[in-house]
């Protein structure tokens, strides 16, 4: 696997995050970005996520389902993890249905924490689509006193084309080589799951030996917006990682890994490689090593 590209850093001149007020100004301009709502909660299902979108969303935003567009089919063997990297045909069809057009920027958002939006940003960026994330999601938009619409938005189908390789995508063998070469690996799951104390999703508890625990939620403030660069760097240092060293990131199934990748890239700490199969893929092979306890 090991699909790499020259990771060019920011997905746009202003970086991968945009604040609500700045986005509102862009939407009033001639080159307004396409808005895509990626409301998602683990286990909630597409129907519940879509219902939340219908209750209130940014004006003109289309709904995009993370499970069916931003994830491939789950294998019976569990190889590839619970949210496998989606094929380009699946992503292209989903983005076009959401109105994403070739050469026009797109902004993804979700309810508040940007977890679902980060997965959309990473997958779109991997496929060469210039993408950003609304920092703080719908909650930040509403706090700024900006308008919200209900119901289904009228969306003109897009014509976006994809070009794979815009981010570095790792598989399990790539992770092994990464670690053997002295690479820095971050685990984005909650700390208790990293330590193997409370595994509620996957069949094996613990973490990849050599990884450092950097829970993605600890990179957000109380409003669900990303912490400033100094605070993100400090969190990496506290975990025993070097903020000046490029990282690879994994989580349970490649969703919160994208969230940490977004935080690091947005705060100038490099464009991390992402192990999309993550822990759920790692433990699909019983011969792969597993560690428990703190790093």
CATH number at residue 226: 3.40.250.10
Bridge-based pairing state of the strands 212-213 and 106-109: unpaired
Q: How far is CA 160 from the centre of its chain?
A: 20
- Residue 142 CB contacts under 8 Å (≥ 6 apart), including other chains: 148
Candidate list 251, 257, 271, 283, residue with the active-site label: 251
Does some domain include residue 238? yes
Q: How many CB atoms lie within 10 A of CB 197?
A: 13
Same domain? 120 vs 234? no
Same domain? 278 vs 229? yes
- Structural domain containing residue 176: 169-282
Can you count the helices (H) and strands (E) in the chain?
A: 11, 10
Please report the pLDDT score of residue 1 as a whole number: 45
**CB-count exposure of residue 46 (10 Å: 0-12, 13-18, 19+):** middle
Does some domain include residue 60? yes
Q: How far is CA 151 from the centre of its chain?
A: 26
CA atoms of 29 and 90, how far apart (whole Å):
31
Please report the pLDDT score of residue 4 as a whole number: 40
Q: How many CB atoms lie within 10 A of CB 295?
A: 16
Does some domain include residue 157? no
Question: Cβ distance 189 to 260 under 8 Å?
Answer: no
Please report the pLDDT score of residue 30 as a whole number: 86
pTM assigned to the model: 0.94
Same domain? 135 vs 187? no
Q: What is the dihedral of CA 58, 39, 228, 167, to 10 degrees?
A: -110
CA atoms of 32 and 126, how far apart (whole Å):
22
Strand order in the sheet with 169-170: 169-170, 273-275, 247-250, 184-187, 212-213
Question: Cβ distance 232 to 269 under 8 Å?
Answer: yes
pLDDT beneath 50, residues of the chain: 1, 3-13
% residues pLDDT > 70 (the chain):
95
Look at the chain and report how many structural domains it folds into: 2
Does some domain include residue 182? yes
Question: The tokens of 199 are what?
Answer: 């595994």
Please report the pLDDT score of residue 280 as a whole number: 98
Please report the pLDDT score of residue 14 as a whole number: 62
Backbone angles phi, psi at 34, to 5 degrees: -75, 135
Question: Cβ distance 101 to 88 under 8 Å?
Answer: no
Nearest to residue 1, comparing CAs of 157, 164, 132? 164
Question: Catalytic residue at 53?
Answer: no
Q: How many CB atoms lie within 10 A of CB 148?
A: 13
Does some domain include residue 163? no
CA atoms of 75 and 63, how far apart (whole Å):
26
Same domain? 181 vs 71? no
Same domain? 173 vs 139? no
CA atoms of 109 and 117, how far apart (whole Å):
5
Does some domain include residue 125? yes
């Amino acid at each position: 696997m090991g699909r790499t590209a020259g990771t060019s850093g920011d997905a746009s001149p202003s970086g991968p995050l945009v604040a609500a007020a700045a986005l509102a100004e862009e939407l009033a301009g001639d080159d307004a970005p396409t808005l895509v709502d990626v409301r998602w909660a683990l286990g909630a299902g597409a129907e519940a996520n879509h219902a939340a979108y219908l209750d209130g969303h940014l004006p003109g935003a289309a709904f995009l389902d993370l499970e069916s567009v931003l994830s491939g089919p789950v294998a019976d063997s569990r190889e590839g993890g619970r949210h496998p990297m989606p094929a380009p045909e699946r992503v292209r069809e989903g983005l076009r249905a959401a109105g994403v057009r070739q050469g026009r920027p797109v902004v993804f958002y979700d309810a508040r924490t940007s977890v679902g939006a980060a997965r959309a940003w990473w997958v779109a960026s991997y496929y060469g689509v210039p993408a950003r994330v609304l920092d703080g999601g719908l909650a930040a938009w509403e706090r700024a006193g900006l308008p919200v619409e209900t119901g289904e938005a009228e969306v003109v189908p897009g014509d976006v084309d994809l070009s794979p390789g815009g981010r570095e995508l790792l598989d399990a063998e790539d992770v092994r080589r990464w670690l053997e070469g002295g690479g820095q690996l971050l685990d984005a799951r909650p700390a208790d799951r990293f330590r193997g104390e409370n595994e509620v999703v996957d069949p094996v508890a613990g973490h990849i030996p050599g990884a450092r625990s950097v829970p993605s939620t600890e990179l957000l403030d109380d409003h669900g917006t990303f912490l400033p660069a100094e605070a993100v760097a400090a969190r990496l240092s506290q975990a025993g990682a070097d903020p000046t060293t490029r990282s690879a990131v994994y989580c349970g199934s490649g969703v919160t890994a994208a969230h940490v990748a977004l935080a690091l890239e947005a705060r100038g700490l490099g464009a991390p490689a992402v192990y999309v199969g993550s822990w759920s893929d790692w433990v699909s092979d019983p011969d792969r090593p597993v560690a428990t306890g703190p790093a």
